[in-house]
Structure 1
Amino acid sequence: MSVFFGHDSASAAPIRPAPVIRALTEKPIYIGVGDYARPPMGWVQFCSEHADDCRGGPSEPRDVRLTAPTWSQLVEINDHVNAMIQPATDVDVYGKVEYWTYPVDRGDCEDYVLLKRRLLLDAGWPREALLITVVRDQRDEGHAVLTVRTDHGEFVLDNQVADILPWYDTGYRFVKRQSQSNPNSWVALGDSRPRTPVTASDRRP
């Protein structure tokens, strides 16, 4: 399945699904990005064990050109991972409080994110558009999601919600994520809700 980048294709005009139309007409479609933030320790640990998946220096930010085929592929991969992986804590699966890795059949939120990101990369999506993101949920608990940057806004792939939603419709407070220009650099995200430190102990699967 093809993935389109940029905005100049004359032969394939985007077909906007309902969430894209809402994003264009109601609220800011991109979240504010702030200064440097410290990478999560789980990402550092993951990169120490999967060095090939963390290589690569700075690059130009790229957004995915959202079309009917790209949207369908995004939904398919999100649904596939959510269905095949059963939620479980790192303690239950690995005997560790915090451990980021590719899941086999069970895992917590970061494991879902890593697998979705890898499958999208394998399908030809640019890494600059696939950003691991730390949020706080409605219960003020730490959680991880995959933010996908498109030319029609930012959408969130989540193991706790079936639908792919615009970032502002998730109800989450966005804390930090990978930089578009370097996956090993992290940036703070603009959000007006009170900040609470994200710790490993309060993160949900």
Structure 2
Amino acid sequence: MHKNRLGELLVLNGSLSPAELQKALIVSKSTGKPLGRVLSDERIVNGSVIRRTLIEQFMLRSVMTSMTLFFSFAGIAGGAKTARAASIKDVPARVAFQQASAYAPMGQYPKLFGSTEKQSSSLTAFTKWTGMFERFDAALNTAGGQQQMTAFKAQLEFLRGLPVNKMVAGVNDIVNRVPYINDSQIYGQSDYWATPMEFLKNGGDCEDFAITKYVALRALGIPEERMRILILQDMQKNVPHAVLVVYTDNGAVLLDNQIKTVTNVERVSWYKPIFSINRDSWWLHTKPKGNVTVVASASR
């Protein structure tokens, strides 16, 4: 059996997110502890779930290779009906200054870091992403949530109607002023996807910066199809990371809490993409020449 089969099965059954798997694999490698022990000790996955999955792993044995497992996941994702993209309410539209119809559709999307992309419109496994939208929508129905978003939009007001590059730079600068704080310090969880209101109140980590930038740019009229949250591996720090990608008429750019200025994707060489997602679809990023990377989701 491949060493990462347990992690892959936990991702497939929705018990583990790809970011959590990446972190746990790094800890396992550095400490020499088995992956299951790391997941249990860090309280990322319940022990009974790990035991049940280990039994499933034993029964599967070598019948399925990692490639087969990947395509099984792709088949499940493609056939799921309960969490299609259309089922996710367009919550960012509730806070928009203007409609996004002024922007021409993208004719072609540049490859991110030279990767090959496999697209699916099934968001079944991405419960952290879909759950964030549900909490965001609920918060907008409260007086406190409305006040927070009104105050945030006041900060964005001066960017309305500016060229895309100036809007993107302005949003990146505003959001990057929020303090970086680990999820475990705020929520007692290793990987929590915060709503913009939660992030603006408490601070947050990399995916929270990316989500709030995405909502801000949606409010300013940038259309959904021109943006993705990108989960990647920082090859210099050897840790998972998240950024916002915006597809401009001059190429794809990164809005990154680790980089002060907006940067063209082509100028960054130390990131390895894992998956990207927006409200419509998600994309698995693989190495050129058919080498498959880790299967990724944003599940609990």
- TM category, shorter: 0.5 to 0.7
Listed one character per residue, the Cα deviations across residues 107-149 of structure 1 (whole Å, up to 9, x for unaligned) are 0111111111111111111111121111111233111110101
Give the residue type in structure 1 aligned to 2:265.
Answer: W
Question: Does residue 119 in structure 1 map to residue 186 in structure 2?
Answer: no
Q: Give TM-score, length-normalised by structure 2.
A: 0.47
- More helix per residue: 2
Relative distance call for 1:189 and 1:86 in structure 2 (3 A) is same
Question: Does residue 148 in structure 1 map to residue 242 in structure 2?
Answer: no
Q: How many angstroms apart in 1 are the aligned matches of 2:119 and 2:277? A: 12
Q: Which has the higher contact order (CA 8 A, sep 6+)?
A: 1
Q: How many angstroms apart in 2 are the aligned matches of 1:176 and 1:74? A: 22
Quote the residue 1:110 is aligned against: 207
Mapped contact 2:254–2:265 kept (Cα < 8 A)? yes
Mapped contact 2:284–2:295 kept (Cα < 8 A)? no
Quote the residue 2:65 is aligned against: none
Q: 1:178 offset after TM fit, Å?
A: 1.7
Mapped contact 2:286–2:293 kept (Cα < 8 A)? no
Tell me how large the CA RMSD over aligned residues is: 3.2
Question: Does residue 161 in structure 1 map to residue 254 in structure 2?
Answer: no
Give the residue type in structure 2 aligned to 1:189.
Answer: H
Relative distance call for 1:73 and 1:47 in structure 2 (3 A) is closer
Match of 1:90 among 179, 183, 203: 183
Quote the residue 1:189 is aligned against: 285
Quote the residue 1:80 is aligned against: 174
Give the residue type in structure 2 aligned to 1:186.
Answer: W
Relative distance call for 1:194 and 1:142 in structure 2 (3 A) is farther
In the alignment, structure 1 segments of 5+ residues that lack a partner are 8-27, 54-66, 201-205
Q: How many angstroms apart in 1 are the aligned matches of 2:275 and 2:117? A: 8
Question: Does residue 174 in structure 1 map to residue 174 in structure 2?
Answer: no
Give the residue type in structure 1 aligned to 2:133.
Answer: C
Quote the residue 1:69 is aligned against: 163
Q: 1:41 offset after TM fit, Å?
A: 4.0
Give SS of 2:191's match: coil
Mapped contact 1:142–1:199 kept (Cα < 8 A)? no
In the alignment, structure 2 segments of 5+ residues that lack a partner are 1-96, 140-160
Give SS of 1:134's match: strand
Quote the residue 1:50 is aligned against: 136
Count of aligned pairs: 163
Q: How many angstroms apart in 1 are the aligned matches of 2:281 and 2:216? A: 21
Listed one character per residue, the Cα deviations across residues 31-62 of structure 1 (whole Å, up to 9, x for unaligned) are 34224386544213313423589xxxxxxxxx
Q: Give TM-score, length-normalised by structure 1.
A: 0.66
Relative distance call for 1:189 and 1:146 in structure 2 (3 A) is same
- More strand per residue: 1
Q: 1:184 offset after TM fit, Å?
A: 4.7
Relative distance call for 1:68 and 1:46 in structure 2 (3 A) is closer
Mapped contact 1:109–1:145 kept (Cα < 8 A)? yes
Q: How many angstroms apart in 2 are the aligned matches of 1:135 and 1:128? A: 19
Q: How many angstroms apart in 2 are the aligned matches of 1:110 and 1:140? A: 17
Q: 1:95 offset after TM fit, Å?
A: 1.6
Relative distance call for 1:132 and 1:48 in structure 2 (3 A) is same
Q: How many angstroms apart in 1 are the aligned matches of 2:127 and 2:267? A: 28
Q: Which has the larger radius of gyration?
A: 2
Quote the residue 1:30 is aligned against: 111
Q: How many angstroms apart in 2 are the aligned matches of 1:168 and 1:174? A: 13
Relative distance call for 1:105 and 1:79 in structure 2 (3 A) is farther
